[in-house]
A = this chain, B = another copy of it.
């Protein structure tokens, strides 16, 4: 299986027992003091804390957790750390955890639901207080484990499916629809789409579907596509934009699968001297910081990843018991009118 790390026998042999002996009190007293729980005379507390400091005693939470059947861990399962949006979710998680003495344990799935299954099994074996995941795409086994665990389960990012327990995010389908409506109102009629791998990024697909719906309601459709094979990146955005414009010169606006791709599109235009948005317009998704700082701010939809992570934790802390009905928390989105579309 894997490599186990035997704890060094060196220092860390300091236990409650030793502290109790040295301070001439019982183990429970030391325990009470360390946890700030129960009544203890100020005098004993100080005496004990003195020897605690002197010995450099650090309570063993593994043991504490086992004895009290309390958990101090929250599992967080995200597809990857290379897409900036997930670290942003983690920031929210950290913010939400502030002052709660729960520790996040983070694993990545690399966009693979079988890996997710393994990772979830591993995390559940730590008996976490709750588990947060990205999206709704799980194996049956994963789903079963999550249901059986009895702990709170948060599926983050979108709210376009029925969650196991809690969903926190925004409707990507509605966001895509809003993009379509917005661009139509601004007078665009010839739409292109620049995207990346839909199998790995199902939310990008949801946005695309919403967009198509809006166009179709107006009697329009997407006239050309340029799709990258793999993950989204600025580099792919440049490449695919070039391809799109070469293959379909009539396009006056391209909707991008996300801001990474869209920034690539903007860079292509800058490099080629294409005037934005008159000659060609670019619309992204995510509201990444970089987009705001471009010479012309990127037109995009802002979803609030930080808020997603934060709300997820807050919900879990607020009601540790899983209710019978699923909970859905909409963190909403906002159309940002930049200078590129």
- A residues neighboring B (CB under 8 Å): 1-8, 10-12, 35-36, 56, 58-63, 65-66, 68-73, 80-82, 84, 87-88, 90-91, 94, 99-108, 121-127, 129-130, 144-145, 148-151, 233-235, 238, 263-264, 267, 270-271, 289-290, 292-295, 317, 320-322
Contact = CB atoms under 8 A, between A and B. Distances in A.
A302 B263 CA distance: 22
Given A66-B62, A238-B293, A290-B234, A123 B103 contact: yes
Given A71-B5, A105-B105, A122-B103, A293 B235 contact: yes
Contact of A289 (B106, B151, B233): B233
Interface of A is mostly: mixed
A71 B7 contact: yes
A268 B7 CA distance: 53
A300 B144 CA distance: 49
Contacts of A68: 4
Contact of A63 (B66, B293, B295, B322): B66
B104 A106 contact: yes
A73 B267 CA distance: 43
A149 B82 contact: no
A70 B5 contact: yes
16 contacts: A4-B101, A5-B129, A7-B151, A8-B150, A8-B151, A12-B148, A12-B149, A58-B125, A59-B125, A61-B126, A62-B62, A84-B84, A90-B106, A106-B106, A234-B290, A270-B270
Contact of A148 (B11, B108, B129, B293): B11
Given A3-B100, A125-B60, A127-B60, A294 B267 contact: yes
A320 B10 CA distance: 13
Contacts of A1: 35-36, 101
Contact of A105 (B5, B60, B66, B103): B103
Contacts of A108: 94
Given A61-B125, A62-B62, A105-B106, 7 more contacts: A6-B69, A7-B71, A7-B127, A8-B151, A62-B126, A82-B91, A103-B122
Contacts of A101: 1-4, 122
A70 B4 contact: yes
Nearest to A4: B70
B2 A99 contact: yes
Contacts of A11: 148-150
A198 B338 CA distance: 33
Given A58-B145, A125-B60, A7 B70 contact: yes
